[in-house]
Each structure stands twice: as structure tokens, then as C-alpha cells.
Amino acid sequence: MVDFATFQAVVELNAAYAAALDARQWDAWPDFFLDDCVYRVQPRENFDMGLPLATLSFESKGMLRDRIYGIRDTLFHDPYYQRHVIGLPSIRQLDDGTLHVEANYAVFRTKPDQLTDILSVGRYLDVVKRTGDGWKFASRQCIFDSEMIPNSLIYPI
């Protein structure tokens, strides 16, 4: 069990994360993470079998910033909006200011001239650490349920 303030802090971290991405505040995305972090988007099948292959895998805040540079300056794609819906977190473990958290997510994609579709559905497996600047992700694994993904995954999940 964790106290309500800790639980609420994790809820607010997820809400702020979703709001930043949905508002296309790309520069804010890396600030949700520690400098030495892991961000991975991986199919459920590979995760369940213990296979390391991931669709996206970044291992530092610098790599996250590089992805933002790519989104802004080098990738060409049809623009779209995202909308994140994140379920209530389940705090699985608490160790000296480190939380192991799981939460379901759904990300919807809307292209300006099309109906909204489902981009990704799955669960976040997070390691969250308390810092002087609040709670930050040491690790965020986005384990998506479908074996199929869009032909391009541009924005963070």
C-alpha cells in the first residue's frame, strides 16, 4: 500500500504526460524522464516471450531529445493529433522512493480529414523515482497488445 499523496502524484504524472503529448508540447516530453532512462515501445508478444526486439527503444534523455528533433525537423508524415486515455495506476512495488507502476492506456489518432482511429492500446510498465523536481520516469515500457502497428509510429505513445 502507498499513501494517497503518492498515488495522486502518479496519477498527476500520467495526466501531465498525456496532456503534453496531446498538445504536441514535444520539448516537455523528455522532462518527464530522468537523464539515465529507458523508453521502449514493444509488442506484447515479444515482451511476454522475453524477446528484446522493440518498435522503439531509447536509453537516455538525450535519445528522447533526438527523437523530438526527428519529429520536428527530419520526419515527413501526414500530420495527426493524438489523444491519450490512461487508466488508474496500479502501484505494484515501492522501494525507497522508487515505484513500479502499471497502467492501461489507449491512444487515439485523428487526421484532420479523417475519422478518429485507434493508434495503440496496451499497458505502461513504469519505474518512477522521486527527485527534487518531483516524480520522474526512470523507465517507461509501452507494451502494445496488437501485433499490427501503423506503418509509421511518429509521436511518443
Could you tell me the domains of the chain? Answer: 4-144 (3.10.450.50)
pLDDT given for residue 77 in this prediction = 77
The backbone region for 134, taken as left when phi is positive above 0, alpha when psi lies in -120 to 50, beta otherwise, is left
| Sign of the alpha-carbon dihedral angle for 130, 131, 136, 137 | negative
Tell me the pairing of strands 134-144 and 33-43: parallel
- The 8-class DSSP code of residue 113 comes to T
Note down pLDDT in tens along the chain; length 157 residues.
789 999 999 999 999 999 999 999 999 999 999 999 999 999 999 999 999 999 999 999 999 999 999 888 876 778 889 999 999 999 999 988 899 999 999 999 999 999 999 999 999 999 999 999 999 999 999 999 987 777 678 899 9
The whole-model pTM stands at 0.95
Nine cell digits for residue 85: 486515455
Is-contact 46 112, C-beta < 8 A? no
Give the helix/strand (H/E) hosting 137: strand 134-144
